Structure formats: structure tokens, C-alpha cells
Amino acid sequence: MRLKDKTALITGAGSGIGRETALLFAKEGARVVATDINDEGGKETVAMIREAGQEAAYFHADVSKAADCEAMVAFAERTYGKLDILFNNAGIMHNDDGDAVSTEEAIWDLTMNINVKGVFFGCKYGIPALRRAGGGSIINTASFVALLGAATPQIAYTASKGAVLSMTRELAIIHARENIRVNALCPGPLRTELLMKFLNTEEKKQRRLVHIPMGRFGEAREMAAAVLYLASDESSYVTGSEFMVDGGITAAYVTPE
């Protein structure tokens, strides 16, 4: 098993990428701490893991609050003795997020508080725990829109994921000599509730699909497989990366300098 004897903390574990990653991590031998603001979804993820005979515990956490992030890390160490893997995955894409003219300040602030500050707080309190464990792996969920503009306007989300990618690079450099690796998962458009609620018409869906060389939306389980690689010792020489899992969309549109 690729994560045997490892403890992993996953935010936003109640659905989508977070849930699929939690299930896969547990299958690969990790003890999983699943956190979410949605208690029903988070507890359901933990129940699924336990029903399979694997180890998991749930902790309610709003990642936009420093106290919650400090508490979730403390819970992981208290419950399983250490923290080896931190997956800062929780995020939102608000239906009222549009272009700069139409997006309200409140939507901007909410998006930044969860998507950016949540990653910052996760690292702020998670990095000392990884140090205590002798090192580990941090994976932050960014997006292909950190490198490309989105075909359907979502200014706050795009800006937030650009910030996550920049933060990941700096943290990777700072902590590289401490046996702490920091990478950004950059998913392409996915068939998850988060995106499908935003692309709520067939026209919006087609505006995304036409840009994806593979011609389909990705699946959450495909992202989980990528996160597993970044969390495992197989990626021991990988840090500071923008790990693209995007159906080819950035290859099609990003021009090399």
C-alpha cells in the first residue's frame, strides 16, 4: 500500500475530489481525517471508509477561520499521533461569480476567504505538524484557470486559484530543505457538483467542452489518482509543480515562451 502508516488530512472531503481522494487514500493504507463544513457529507465519507474496514475520522472545519484550521490539525495529531499529508482541497465556485463589472464585493471576499485564506491557514498550522512528523507532502487544489482565463467568466474564482498556485510555489521553495514538498493540483473542467452547478445550462457546458482536446469533462476519481501520486513517496523529487490533470486544455492554449 502506497500510504501505509501515513496520516492524511483532507479538507472539503464531503464530496467531489475530496471524497474520492479520502476513499483512495484509505484504500492505500492512510489514516484519514476528513474535514468539511458540510457535516452530513463529511460523515458519510468517513462511514464509507469505515465500512470498507479502513481508518478515518471526521472533524467539522470552516477553512476560512484560523481557529478551525488550527483545531483540525490538532485533532489529526491527537487522533493518529502525527500528520504526514495535507490536502488543502476545500473551495467554492459561486454562481454569482462573473466578470469584474457584475461580481459583487461580497462574492469576491467569500471566494478569497475560502479558496485562498483556507489554503494559507491550512499551511500555517499544518506545516509545523509536518515538521514534527519529520516531513511530508502538501497538495493544494488550484485549477487550470490559474494559467488560462475561463471561457465562462468567474473572476473571483480564477484570481483565487492563481493565488493558490503562486503560494504553492513559494512554500515549496521555502520548505524544500525540510523534507516538506508542496505541489498544486490543477484540474481541468470536471463533472463535479461544484462545476455543474456553475455550468447550469447546456450552452455553458458546451462552451467549456469545445476547448478540451479530449472532448469530455474529467472525473473526481481521476484527480484523486493524481493526488495519490503527489502524496506518496513515488513523487519524492516533485515539489513546486503545477500538476496539470486537464484533458489537454492548457497544452492547447498555453504558448511556450
In a domain, 256, yes or no: no
Q: Are 156 and 174 in contact (CB under 8 A)?
A: no
Q: Which helix (DSSP H) or strand (DSSP E) does residue 140 occupy?
A: strand 136-141
Let me know if residue 199 belongs to a domain: no
In a domain, 212, yes or no: no
The angle formed by the CA atoms of residues 110, 173 and 170, to the nearest 5 degrees, is 25
Q: Which of 97, 95, 73 is nearest to 84 (CA)?
A: 73
What amino acid occupies position 161?
K
- How far is the C-alpha of 73 from the C-alpha of 181, rounded, in Å? 18
User: In total, how many domains does the chain have?
Assistant: 1
Q: Which domain holds residue 24?
A: 7-189+219-242
61, 51, 53: which is closest to 18 by C-alpha?
A: 61
Can you give the pTM of this predicted structure?
0.95
Q: Is 66 part of any domain?
A: yes
User: For residue 77, what is its C-alpha cell?
Assistant: 495529531
Please, are residues 64 and 114 in contact by the beta-carbon 8 Å criterion?
A: yes
Asked whether residue 1 is assigned to any structural domain, the reply reads no
Element (DSSP H or E) covering residue 36: strand 31-36
- Residue 202: predicted pLDDT: 81
Check if 157 is active-site. Answer: yes
> What count of residues does the chain have?
257
The answer as to whether 255 is a domain residue is no
Residue 214 domain-assigned? no
Sheet strand arrangement including 56-60:
56-60, 31-36, 7-11, 85-88, 136-141, 180-187, 242-245
Q: Is 118 domain-assigned?
A: yes
For the chain of 257 residues, list the mean pLDDT of each consecutive stretch of 10. Answer: 98 97 98 98 98 98 98 98 98 94 98 98 98 98 92 92 98 98 95 78 81 92 98 98 96 75
The predicted pLDDT at position 196 comes to: 78
Of 80, 157, 229, 253, the catalytic one is 157
Position 256 scores a pLDDT of: 63
Q: For residue 15, what is the domain's CATH number?
A: 3.40.50.720
Q: Report the alpha-carbon distance of residue 34 to residue 42 in Å, rounded.
A: 6
Q: Which amino acid is at 213?
A: P
